């Protein structure tokens, strides 16, 4: 038997239940992991609420994208891993079929990889969602370069902090936003060149001041909603705004529609690009490049996951509530 987290209906964090179920055997292209640590993501909050890009086909439903642990069983077609290997999971599968919250997890071998040996299990479970998400927009698509101004909104999230580090590693200039001043110093310590406190400062005016009137060459934003107009004002001529979330339209930061910033887009030749990690992890060539880039940058010390707080598995409800409070600076991890 193994304890796993499941939910039997959509709802708030209290619907998550730690339940004992029979341990499963992997199918031919799967493997089983004894989980050491779990990395939490906002996608899982939305999945639990029934607001994600996909929904569970039935209840009870498992949940979770990221885990680190040890391989304990392998399917007949698995060739690249053996029992005893230390691995972590890439969010390259459907949560309607798989979930990693629990003492053990069955996952497709295509979504399993090793993590750098200089990382702990807590850090090893914290790298792929955040770094691959930021890599896809900033490195694969935008191809940021030395001297580019990169505006990173909601920058205290794990993906935001990853974007700051990746921008620095590429020689570009990361400018972070946060709603309140209490997170400003942490973002500066994390590598932001400057921090704009949006509750206290006019974002477009401050961005122009920081960049000597140039504006942001690339904007990396999970908020959207009416905020998109403000970002367009802060953008440089010919900039690209990558929208990878909807906190300002359907998430915890507000509600409403996301207007297209037509006038600013026409004046500046802006590109507004919807983006998700699945564009990277569903393409074998892109995923291979991304994994290599992130793995090597971590080994060199250019990237270092920041852990916000660690909860025990028995406190999974508290961990989700903490994520929804928006207090965290970095990755929330559950230790098994």
Angle at alpha carbon of residue 145, lines to 144 and 150, rounded to 5°: 50
In the Cβ-directed half-sphere of 237, how many Cα atoms lie within 13 Å?
3
- CATH number assigned to the domain covering 129-278: 3.40.50.720
The total of other beta-carbon atoms located within 10 Å of residue 326's CB is: 15
Tokens of 234: 């802060």
pLDDT (tens digit per residue) in 3-15: 999 999 999 999 9
254 pLDDT higher than 50? no
Residue 102 backbone dihedrals phi, psi, to 5 degrees: 155, 180
35 pLDDT higher than 50? yes
pLDDT (tens digit per residue) in 161-194: 999 999 999 999 999 999 989 999 999 999 999 9
User: Where are the chain's structural domains?
Assistant: 2-127+306-335, 129-278
Please name which of 103, 125, 70 lies closest in space to residue 4, comparing C-alpha atoms: 103
Dist CA 216 CA 239 (whole Å): 7
129-278 and 2-127+306-335 share a CATH fold: no
pLDDT (tens digit per residue) in 78-105: 999 999 999 999 999 999 999 999 999 9
Dist CA 228 CA 241 (whole Å): 9
pTM: 0.90
Q: Which CATH superfamily is domain 2-127+306-335 in?
A: Medium-chain alcohol dehydrogenases, catalytic domain (3.90.180.10)
In 3-state terms, what secondary structure has residue 105?
strand
Dist CA 187 CA 160 (whole Å): 10
Cis peptide before 60 (omega within 30 of 0): yes
């Amino acid at each position: 038997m193994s304890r796993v987290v499941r939910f039997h209906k959509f709802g708030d964090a209290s619907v998550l239940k730690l339940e004992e179920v029979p341990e499963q055997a992997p199918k031919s292209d799967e493997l089983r992991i004894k989980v050491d640590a779990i990395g939490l993501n906002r996608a899982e909050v939305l999945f639990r609420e029934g607001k994600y890009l996909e929904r569970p086909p039935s209840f009870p439903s498992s949940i979770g994208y990221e885990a680190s642990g040890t391989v304990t069983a392998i399917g007949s077609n698995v060739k690249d891993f053996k029992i005893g290997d230390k691995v972590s999971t890439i969010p390259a599968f459907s949560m309607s079929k798989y979930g990693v919250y629990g003492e053990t997890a069955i996952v497709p071998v295509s979504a399993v990889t090793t993590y750098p040996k200089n990382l702990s299990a807590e850090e090893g479970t914290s790298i792929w969602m955040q770094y691959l998400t930021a890599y896809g927009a900033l490195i694969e698509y935008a191809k940021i370069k030395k001297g580019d101004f990169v505006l990173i909104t909601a920058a205290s999230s794990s993906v935001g902090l990853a974007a700051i580090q990746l921008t620095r590693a590429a020689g570009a200039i990361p400018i972070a936003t946060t709603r309140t001043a209490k997170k400003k110093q942490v973002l500066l310590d994390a590598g932001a060149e400057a921090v704009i406190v949006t509750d206290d400062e006019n974002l477009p005016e401050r961005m122009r001041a920081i960049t000597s009137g140039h504006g942001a060459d690339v904007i990396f934003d999970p908020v959207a909603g009416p905020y998109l107009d403000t970002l367009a004002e802060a953008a440089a001529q010919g900039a690209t705004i990558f929208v990878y979330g909807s906190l300002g339209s359907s998430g915890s930061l507000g509600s409403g529609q996301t207007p297209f910033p037509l006038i600013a887009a026409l004046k500046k030749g802006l590109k507004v690009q919807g983006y998700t990690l699945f564009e990277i992890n569903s393409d074998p060539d892109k995923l291979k490049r991304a994994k290599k880039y992130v793995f090597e940058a971590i080994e060199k010390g250019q990237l270092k996951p920041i852990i916000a707080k660690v909860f025990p598995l028995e406190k999974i409800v508290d961990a989700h509530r903490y994520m929804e409070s928006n207090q965290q600076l970095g990755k929330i991890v559950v230790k098994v």
